[in-house]
Each structure stands twice: as C-alpha cells, then as structure tokens.
Amino acid sequence: MASPRRRILLLGGSGRLGRVLTSAWHDRHDLFLPGRAQLDLAEPDHLSSTLAEFDFDTLVNTAGLTSPDACEDNPDLAQRVNAESPGVLARVCTGRGARMIHLSTDYVFAGDCSAPLDETTPAVPVNTYGRSKLAGEEAVLAACSDALVARVSWLFGEAGGDVPSAVLERARRGDALDFIEDKCSAPTWTTELADWLERLITDHREVTGVLHLCHSGAASWRDFAQAVLDLGHEVGLLPEPMSTQGRRLAKFTGFRAVRPPWTVMDNTRLASLLGASPRPWQEALRLHLQRLAGRG
C-alpha cells in the first residue's frame, strides 16, 4: 500500500537539510516552503498569525541558529530562534491536530561520557547553542505531547557545506590536512535521514518524545576526514592517497563556544522502528562519495 500523501510545512527549506528533504519529498507530498521573509523564527510573536495562512497536517522544523559560535555571540537571538519559536510552532500544531517533528542536536549533551548516549541520558549542554536547543526541545514537548524531537549529528550529503566537501576541497588545494582527533560523534547521511523522517511522517505518526537519528558507529573529526580521503581516492575523487594529522580540541583556539568532546548517540530506538540497525557511517559515506563520483 502506498504511503499517504501529506501536506507538509517545511521550515528551513533553503538550508542544507531542508534542500535534501525538499528534493526527496516533493513528488510524494504537498510541500509548503516559506522563506525567512515570510516566516521568521527570530520573531516568535508573529508566528501564529503567519501559520494560519498554511493548510498543513505536518510541520517539520529544520530551521534554527545552528552555529555554536554565532549562538555564543547572539544569545538572545539563539533563545528566540531555537527555543521560543519552536514552542509557538508546537502550540499551533496542538491546536490544529498536526504532526510536528522538530530537529534538534547532539550538542544538548555535555560530552563527558565515552559510551553511546541514548534518549534517556541526561542532557547537560555546555554552550549557548546546546542550551537554546534543549530549551526548544522542552518547549515543544510541553506544548505538544504528540510531537517528536529528532536529534541529529554531523550531517553530510548532496547539498554540500559539510565535512566531506571541506576535506575534498582542502585536499585538492594542497592545504594542511589537520583535524581534531578527540571530539567524537556519529556522522549521518542526509539522504537516509530524509527517508527516516518520511517514514516517521507517514508510517510512524504514533512515535513521540525524543528520538536519535544517526548512523551506527563513532568517529572523531580526524577519523571522518581520513575516511573521506581514503574513500575519495578509492572512487576516483582524489588522484592519490593522503593522510591526516591530529590536533587536540583543548589546543584549538579557533572556537569561541565550548564544544562537547563526546556526543555519539545510541540509535537503538531508531533501529527498532526501522526493523534493522542503521548502516555504519562508513558505508553511508562510501555511498555518498560514489554518487559524487558518478558511480552511484
């Protein structure tokens, strides 16, 4: 049986994830894609009246202020965009009986563990970005008991602007290939994330609360970069093998916001919904790079 066609209001449709979702879903669903000029999360007081203009049965919020350093520099803006506005969106969804999926982040965790973090692990953010996103999660779930908060991490995919595209560009330019080796998370391919989210919209609307959406396994930024170099050479994107150098997070002075060193999320709950464990991130990365090379 074909999945039902939904009327989806997608916020953040011009962002990296939003563009992937738009491309993946536009043939199977009716999408509403308001831009910031029409619906601005920096102005939570105006959202309810604007949302009344759209006839949607599902709201997917991928929008937000996602740069940790930008949030550190603009904490009031981060609070409005990442916390207050999601709460307004959730209240509107409750009022009209619409499904809401709110995208959140692994940065809600402190990063002081060394084992995968499941949905029951206490969230203790260490920077303004994480605190604003956690406040957004809490606001959404308080306002809409049927909402789903989907935490994601280290997204990569066809829209670019990610670790693989940056690593390939640096390698081709002959730049230094040094990457932080003691900060770890779970890389996640946006192509498969789009499929997981769609299934949560069409087939698993009963799933609520917090859900971790990520591939299996863990990687440091250096591990991730080295895999891009190795697989990039294997599929023909790079002419020769290359190696990375490690850097320590504590010695990197380029960040204004503190970064949590370990935010590897457990995806057991997702696996139970899918009926199988999500593929390892290395396998997803290989498929992505094969597509970039025209082999997929």
Q: Enumerate the active-site residues.
A: 129
- Find the Cα–Cα–Cα–Cα dihedral 115, 117, 120, 121, rounded to 10°: 70
In this structure, what are the phi and psi dihedrals at residue 217, rounded to the nearest 5 degrees? 100, 175
Per the CB < 8 A criterion, the answer to whether 59 and 232 are in contact is no
* Distance (Å) of CA 164 to CA 23, 94, 175, 189: 20, 39, 15, 11
